[in-house]
A = this chain, B = another copy of it.
Amino acid sequence: MTTQRRTPPSKDKLDAIRAIVGPKGVFEGNDAAPFLSEWRGRWPGEAALIVAPASTEEVAKIVKYCSDNDIAVTPQGGNTGLVGGQIPFGDEILLSLKRMRKIRAIEPLNNTMTVDAGVTLAEAQEAAKEAGRLFPLSIGSEGTCQIGGVISTNAGGVNVLRYGNTRDLVLGLEAVTPSGEIWHGLKRLRKDNTGYDLKQLLIGGEGTLGIVTGAVLKLFPLPAEKVTICAGLESADDAVKLLSLAQQRTGGMTSSFELMARLCIDLVLKHIPQTRDPLREQHPWYVLAEFSSGQKSGLRDTVEAMLGEALEQGLIVDAAIAENESHAHDFWRIRHSISEAINGEGLGARHDVSVATSDIPAFLEKADAAVLKIAPGARFVAFGHIGDGNVHYDIVGPEGSAPDVLEPVRPQIESAVYDIIDTFSGSISAEHGVGRHRRDTLAKRKNAVELDMMRAIKKALDPKGIMNPGKML
């Protein structure tokens, strides 16, 4: 699928946009680079102009001008996206939200927080904590990614099992529509049945339907007790059963439940300094799980009893409960280092897929077999948020092979994996989104009724097609 190029905007028009934000809001020359290169260097970009407005009103003025003059706009948050959705092709102006970073309000008694789109996720977490509350969303890029981007990509992360995706954590939005109007939708309500839930279109909309400028986020009580465990298992099937047991025995207290194939541990130990095997013996599979409770005591006993039951039922072979924060941190360090460890091993082939949780073992079995037919000796670094059915299904070449050994067959591998995902009615992009990267794949694989609905909505809300063209659909 190709994207229609527009006539590049004239110098006069760009000057008119510059005038809206003033010199502080324009980024040129050396200052432009950080906006135009995606962090893994996959999608080098170009923009007609890079501006960072200081207020919602400035965003609206810019978009109104662009709408009137048929200029395309690519909104950008922290530029941490993994699918190139935030990188313009050349004729667009890039609109960064980085100068809009006020925490507008925190209301502990309503368990809500109202923030500008440019506030980083870490800043939002910190502000909530200072008010004695938890904002549970947590992803690797939290120090840099911004709330507006997090919302536009419906970010997931390690706490989805208990607290939901970003979609579940947003009560209200302020946004600028493709015609440059401000939508004042900053509701702080938990129930509102007065028409279509419009914010759901912008959440995960990848900036194709408007620009998020502010949001009301849900907060939660801070947990009083936390227990982190690492367990060794024989199979992914046992992991699915362990999850079910854990959820039944702890009620809603299972916050994270991460699966790792042994090869994940091996690669982390090989490539990441100061890491160590989490359990005494080696096991084919590992589960890293976290439980948290508002009650001050009793959680550890409950988790211990649950692990005892799991041992008896043969679901786990061994398990360790973190003795303190630093021990828990060691467990999490392994999990968080997997991506970097894979980079150390080679280019690999990566997939961010999801299936029904109970289908994970069958998916892994079928996908492994299909990949081995294409790339004999390939090794599987499967890991992920198993409680959400989300597997980061990554593949590296045979032991000792060249780092780029899989490159020639990568498209074939991807296609085979996605074919299997389709047979499970799974998702080819569980949390990373579509952006540039999966746009063609989506057009090919998404069901026709859905594609038609998406296109009809896009045309209805952005008839001139100026919002982030060439992304998603």
Contact = CB atoms under 8 A, between A and B. Distances in A.
Interface string A428-442: 111111100010001
A453 B294 contact: no
B294 A193 contact: no
Residues of A in contact with B, size category: 35 or more
Interface of A: 107-112, 132, 153-154, 156, 160, 162, 164-165, 167-168, 177, 181-198, 200-201, 203-205, 209, 220-224, 240-241, 244, 247-253, 292-295, 297-298, 302, 354-359, 385, 387-390, 425-434, 438, 442, 446-447, 449-450, 453-454, 456-457, 459-461, 472-473
B189 A389 contact: yes
Given A253-B252, A298-B295, A460-B457, A472 B390 contact: no
Nearest to A108: B244
Given A110-B357, A181-B449, A197-B201, 18 more contacts: A109-B240, A156-B191, A160-B190, A177-B453, A182-B449, A183-B450, A184-B447, A187-B427, A188-B425, A189-B427, A189-B430, A190-B390, A191-B388, A195-B472, A196-B454, A253-B294, A453-B461, A457-B460
A191 B427 contact: yes
A292 B250 CA distance: 11
Which residue among A110, A184, A434 has the maximum number of chain B CB atoms within 10 Å of its CB? A110
Contacts of A108: 244
18 contacts: A109-B240, A109-B357, A110-B358, A164-B168, A182-B449, A188-B425, A189-B426, A189-B427, A193-B433, A195-B473, A196-B201, A198-B454, A220-B252, A250-B295, A251-B295, A252-B294, A253-B294, A253-B295
A204 B193 contact: yes
Which residue among A168, A203, A358 has the maximum number of chain B CB atoms within 10 Å of its CB? A358
Contacts of A160: 190-191
Nearest to A245: B221
Given A164-B168, A253-B294, A194 B429 contact: yes
Which residue among A203, A224, A244, A292 has the maximum number of chain B CB atoms within 10 Å of its CB? A244
Which residue among A164, A182, A189, A429 has the maximum number of chain B CB atoms within 10 Å of its CB? A189
A388 B82 CA distance: 36
Nearest to A200: B200
Contacts of A453: 177, 183, 196, 198, 461
Contacts of A390: 190-191
A472 to B, nearest CB: 6
A389 B432 contact: no
A296 to B, nearest CB: 8
A179 to B, nearest CB: 9
Contacts of A426: 189
A193 B427 contact: yes
A408 B386 CA distance: 59
A294 B252 CA distance: 7
Nearest to A458: B196
A167 B460 contact: no
Contacts of A430: 189, 191-193
A212 B5 CA distance: 39
Nearest to A109: B358
Nearest to A208: B196
Given A388-B190, A425-B187, A110 B356 contact: yes
